[in-house]
Chains A and B, each alone.
Chain A
């Protein structure tokens, strides 16, 4: 079974600085997707960024980028120019690529605090 591990229960960063959240995963498959979700206090799950395993290029979305190391099974999220609105729980998630097995497997989460 696939597992996702986030080893940092909490992280904090000064506003406008850069922070990196870590995620590792375990799988024997070659076709899969990786995601970072943000969960603010409202509890709404918001997709931040996704990465297809077959793509070598790291995904980026504005201030958010990932460092995808397929051989090391590592998928970290970098947030640049941190803003107060970035404060939230962040979850890394894995999903198999084949049809019929599409549940998301989540890590335990990292609580990110932004210091003004």
Chain B
């Protein structure tokens, strides 16, 4: 059973370009979380999605950031018009059900560098 997959692992974008980060959850998992880790900091929650629904986006910046988790295919975190401050590692995690007792399984992360 493959783990959580994220691609690309490394992404370099120039200021003003768009970044698309993909997350394929573990098989059978319909819940996805996105977290951001700035250098030398802990992970910060961004958004929680179930298939075709955004459940909690309280950690998402108001502008330029969006996320989706379609019925088919991976979850996408999209950052428009990237700025240097967006440089970070972006992790997704998936879980099989709803409830605090379910473990979140993390992907390897995507390291975004904005030049």
Give chain A's interface residues, CB within 8 Å of chain B.
4, 31-33, 42-45, 47, 50, 52, 91, 95-109
Contact = CB atoms under 8 A, between A and B. Distances in A.
- 9 closest Cβ contacts across the A-B interface? A106-B42, A45-B106, A97-B100, A103-B45, A106-B43, A99-B98, A108-B42, A109-B42, A43-B109
B69 interface: no
Nearest to B102: A102
A102 B108 contact: no
B99 A99 contact: yes
Given A31-B100, A106-B35, 18 more contacts: A44-B109, A45-B43, A45-B93, A45-B106, A45-B109, A52-B101, A96-B100, A97-B101, A102-B100, A102-B102, A103-B33, A103-B45, A103-B56, A104-B43, A104-B45, A104-B104, A108-B41, A108-B42
Nearest to A111: B40
Contact of A47 (B42, B44, B103): B103
Contacts of A32: 100
A72 B102 CA distance: 26
B44 A106 contact: yes
Interface string B46-81: 001000000110010000000000000000000000
Chain A binding surface, main DSSP class? loop
B56 A101 contact: yes
B25 to A, nearest CB: 15
A102 B98 contact: yes
B89 interface: yes
Q: Which of B43, B44, B93, B102 has the most CB of A within 10 A?
A: B43
Nearest to A47: B103
Contacts of B104: 102, 104
Given A45-B106, A103-B56, A91 B43 contact: yes
Q: Which of B45, B100, B103, B111 has the most CB of A within 10 A?
A: B100
